[in-house]
Amino acid sequence: MLLNRPFWVAIALCLSSNVEAACNHDNCLRAFIRSSAAASSFCATYTPGSSTPTRTTGLPRFVSACQDSPARISSACACLATPTPTTATSSPTTSVTAKATCAATQYWPGWENIKYAFVFGDSYSSTEFNETGVQPSPTNPLGNPTYPGFTSANGPNWVDFLTTKHNASLLLTYDIAWSGATMDSALVAPYIPTVSSIAEQVENLWFPNYASKPASAPWSSDDTLFAVFDGINDVGNSWAQGVPATTTLNAEIFNVYHGLVDELYYAGARNFAFLNVPPVDRAPLTSEKGPESQAEEKADILDWNTLLAGMAQDLKSMFPDINVFAVDASLLFTQVLDNPASNPITAGYLNTTGYCDAYANGTPTEDYFDPTCGIPVNQYFWLNNLHPTYPMQDVLAQGVAAQLEAGPNVC
Ligand SMILES: *[C@@H]1O[C@H](CO)[C@@H](O)[C@H](O)[C@H]1NC(C)=O
Ligand SMILES: *[C@@H]1O[C@H](CO)[C@@H](O)[C@H](O)[C@H]1NC(C)=O
Ligand SMILES: *[C@@H]1O[C@H](CO)[C@@H](O)[C@H](O)[C@H]1NC(C)=O
């Protein structure tokens, strides 16, 4: 693996410049990139003249984005220059927060000079921002809805805190995240079908609205952060299938994840923060089911986080000019759950295991008190059976900012 890396780096550099010069990154090519492993085998046997595709011949799913156009399929095959992601062979990265061991590339201007952030994720990250509504601006850095938006934290979430509290510059943040999101709804179904997966956030929300660097978001490769925080629902909706099944599933999910980052790269993204999955096996949703369930979900989370660390490494090998910030959300949550006083922000937590029904759907104020709950809402770690209250989100944002301040940590 290590010995092979310079070879792959050379290929990737050579191919990526060809791709940028000649290829139209339309939905067809993007679908091919997302499914690059399957698409490579398809392309190896595809000859435009002899097997003109029709909708009825059971072509792979990614081909449907090409509207049965042989020209577009041929072009996508010609442009499919992304090396097939190598499987993660690196050992699991355990603690990576706020350790900078890598030289930043020319695209990282320092956290204090980042101007724009695009965030993809689930309910831990969503503010219910609408891409067609009021856009972020200096006096309103998260745009719509009114700060802090509709979060799952009974107060600001980490995206809010990162933008307005742990920021080191005026940061305009476009929060594309959707509650309930999984990486790809076709691989792990979200709780309702209308949820935009990470794939849909990237392809249907980010690309049409922001890839062109519009006046509402005049970002550049060297002043913008792309953050992805996903996995809680992928794991949450699938761990009960058992480890053999989730091991296979996770590998499929990470093929999509890698492909989506590739798409962002080809659109100019260079600075990436990846947040791993926190110990949601300790959330009431699973702890109420008992220790066996917790152990099973924990194993799935570990597999996810190992694959994420491997993907981050693989991306950096493939695209040496990127900066990768691996944020250990798992560690940040574990530290607070084990000892809330380990961080002054969460020192007020008195209950880290349960939640109170009277608070579960949100409360009129952030420190609301209902006598049936014993203590105010913000002294509970868990607002409901899956979501932490805002102090934990504040600590998460602090951890993200600390890593961004320290520099990239995947070399
Ligand atoms: C975003 O706003 C537009 C225009 O008001 C609306 O049509 C659309 O449904 C909104 N999107 C969501 C997800 O609410
Ligand atoms: C952080 O963001 C807030 C809200 O946009 C802004 O008022 C503040 O000046 C920013 N902090 C720095 C250090 O630029
Ligand atoms: C945490 O809160 C729940 C819900 O109010 C309660 O049942 C449980 O006993 C509390 N746990 C502790 C350790 O106080």
Closest CA to 282 of 338, 345, 361, 220: 338
* Residue 214 CA neighbour count, 13 Å, CB half: 12
Closest CA to 284 of 377, 356, 367: 356
CATH code of domain 111-336+384-406 = 3.40.50.1110
Region at 149 (left for phi over 0; alpha for psi -120 to 50; beta for the rest): left
* Residue 345 CA neighbour count, 13 Å, CB half: 20
Torsion of CA 264, 158, 343, 301, to 10 degrees: -60
Lowest model confidence (mean pLDDT) among 72-81, 136-145, 211-220, 257-266: 72-81
Omega before residue 145 within 30° of 0, cis:
yes
Residue nearest to atom 3 of ligand 1 (CA): 132
Sequence-distant (6+) residues with CB within 8 A of 300 are 235, 238, 239, 243, 246, 250
- Mean pLDDT, to the nearest integer, of 366-374? 98
Q: Is the pLDDT of residue 2 over 70?
A: no
Express each pLDDT in 83-128 by its tens digit.
433 333 343 333 334 666 899 999 999 999 999 999 999 999 999 9
CB neighbours of residue 219 within 10 Å: 22
- Mean pLDDT, to the nearest integer, of 176-205? 98
Residues lining ligand 1, Cβ inside 6 A: 130, 132-133
Express each pLDDT in 68-89 by its tens digit.
666 667 777 666 654 433 333 3
Q: How far is the CA of 386 from the centre of ligand 3 (A)?
A: 15
Domain ranges of the chain: 19-80, 111-336+384-406
Backbone angles phi, psi at 156, to 5 degrees: -65, 150
pTM: 0.84
Residue nearest to atom 7 of ligand 1 (CA): 132
pLDDT band of residue 67 (cuts 50, 70, 90) is: low
Closest CA to 199 of 212, 186, 217, 218: 186
Ligand 2 near 147 CB (within 6 A): no
Express each pLDDT in 26-57 by its tens digit.
666 667 766 766 677 667 777 655 544 433 34
- Mean pLDDT, to the nearest integer, of 260-286? 98
Q: How far is the CA of 30 from the centre of ligand 1 (A)?
A: 25
Express each pLDDT in 215-237 by its tens digit.
999 999 999 999 999 999 999 99
Ligand 3 near 353 CB (within 6 A): yes
Which amino acid, residue 361? N
Ligand 2 near 164 CB (within 6 A): yes
